[in-house]
Chain A
């Protein structure tokens, strides 16, 4: 399987701070990069996604930054809240034949008051 490397494994941020999670990929055939949020006892749910033709996408407090040449992308959570505490997964998808969605290993985010 193609790999998507995610870091850090865990992250503790104070309320109001910025949470940053990084991912790197290898396969240049990937053409869609989603982030998923998972709460305990639930399946992952799509949070925000980006395609490689843009360098940044923002939705509310969540921003994806994408660096195509470095094959890296990151999730920024501004003004982090305790309700953001969850596990976050980056993923990469190739629609060119393989239809495979490959996930990073996840980052457990804890936002403390």
Chain B
């Protein structure tokens, strides 16, 4: 987990508010992924970046979701406006090396009330 730091760990917000989730990966990674995890749908890929460029955002559920990766050491996932159905654990993960091992952060547990 030390290879990917996510913040905040927990976020409780009211419906309609903007939420920004942050991810700080260690250097040397090839790709960065944002996943959403719920009991019903499991781990869903939202978007992934390769060399800081968004490659596939087809998993982003709606226009309310946006993600950026301004440099190799930082990425954000923003939800605006947030809705109760966005409540989930959001994970950031990186791929490293030819073996394509993914390292996950601890996740951000988002609750929208």
Contact = CB atoms under 8 A, between A and B. Distances in A.
B104 A43 contact: yes
A95 B98 CA distance: 9
A1 B30 contact: no
A62 interface: no
A106 B43 contact: yes
B104 A1 contact: no
| Interface residues of chain B: helix, strand, loop or mixed (majority) | strand
Nearest to B48: A100
B101 A34 contact: yes
Contacts of B33: 101
B45 A105 contact: no
Given A1-B58, A98-B55, A100-B48, A43 B42 contact: no
A42 B1 contact: yes
B100 interface: yes
Contact of B93 (A41, A43, A95, A105): A43
A52 to B, nearest CB: 13
Nearest to A95: B100
B56 interface: yes
B50 interface: yes
Interface in A86-113: 89, 91, 93, 95, 98-106
Interface string B42-61: 11010010100001101100
Interface in B1-50: 1, 4, 30-31, 33, 35, 41-43, 45, 48, 50
A103 B48 CA distance: 14
Interface in B61-113: 91, 93, 95, 99-107
B102 A101 contact: yes
Nearest to A6: B42
Contacts of B1: 42-43, 45
Nearest to A46: B101
Interface of A: 1, 32, 34, 36, 41-46, 49, 89, 91, 93, 95, 98-106
